[in-house]
Amino acid sequence: MDNVLKYRIIRIKMKQINYLKTGRKWGKRGEDMLVDFWAILIFAVIILLFFILFATTKSGSNKTLTEFDGKDANFMLDSFLRAPVPSEDKTVAEIIVEESAVDGGKFDRTGKLFEEFFKRTNTMNSIDINDIHLEIKGYNSGSMNIVKDKGAGSFGKYSLISSGAATEKSYSATTTIPGYTGNIQITLRLSQLPLVGVNVAGTSTNPTNGAGSTGGAQAPVLKQGH
Amino acid sequence: MNTISDRRMGKRQKKLGNKGQAPLFFLENAFRIGFLMVALLAFFLLVNMYISNKMDTNRLEAEVLANRIIYSDTIMYQDAKTSRIYPGIVDMDRFDEGILNTNIDYQNKRHIAANITLINNQNGAIVGDIYLNKQQYAELNILTMQKSTGKGSATHYIKNYPVTYKNTNGYDYGTLVIDIIVPNS
Q: What ipTM was reported for this prediction? A: 0.70
B32 and B122 belong to one structural domain: no
- The C-alpha atoms of residue A74 and residue A121 are separated, in whole angstroms, by 15
pLDDT number for residue A83: 92
Q: What 8-state DSSP symbol labels residue B54? A: -
pLDDT of residue A161: 32
* Closest CB from B121, B157, B184 relative to A120: B121
Q: How far is CA B96 from CA A75, B99, B128, B169, in A?
A: 22, 5, 9, 20
Same structural domain for residues B82 and B33? no
The answer on B28 and B76 residing in a single domain is: no
Same domain, B68 and B87: yes
Do B101 and B132 lie in one domain? The reply is yes
CA distance B128 to chain A (A): 15
**Min Cα separation B172/chain A (Å):** 7
Mean pLDDT for chain B overall: 83
Residues B99 and B171 in one domain: yes
- Which residues of chain A are under the pLDDT cut of 50? 23-26, 125-126, 141-142, 152-167, 194-226
- Give pLDDT, residue A152: 42
The pLDDT, as a whole number, for residue B76 is 93
Q: What is the pLDDT of residue A203?
A: 37
Q: A180 — contact with chain B (CB < 8 Å)?
A: no
Phi, psi at A159, each rounded to 5°? -80, 75
Residue pair B180/B114 in contact by the 8 Å Cβ criterion: yes
Residue B154 has pLDDT above 70, yes or no: yes
Q: Which residues of A touch B59 (CB under 8 A)?
A: 65, 195, 197, 207, 211
Give B57's Cβ-side CA count (13 Å radius).
10
Q: Looking at the structure, do residues B46 and B65 belong to the same domain, yes or no?
A: no
B45 and B102 in a single domain? The answer is no
What pLDDT does residue B81 have? 92
What residues make up the domain containing B79? 58-183
How many contacts (CB atoms, under 8 Å) link A and B? 191
pTM to 2 decimals? 0.63
H or E element in which residue A46 lies: helix A23-81
Domain count within chain B: 2
- Model confidence at B155, pLDDT cuts 50, 70, 90, reads confident
B77-136 confidence digits (pLDDT tens): 998 899 999 999 999 999 999 999 999 888 777 789 999 999 998 888 899 999 999 999
Residue of A nearest to B48 (CA): A54
Shortest Cα distance from A2 to chain B (angstroms)? 12
- Same domain for B32 and B107, yes or no, is no
B67 and B134 part of one domain: yes
Q: Which residues contact A62 (CB under 8 A, 6 or more apart)?
A: A208
- Classify each residue of B105-126 as buried b or exposed e, where b means 16 or more C-beta atoms within 10 Å of its C-beta: eeeeeeebbbbbbbbbbeeeee
Same domain, yes or no: B88 and B127: yes
**B41 plus B66 within the same structural domain:** no
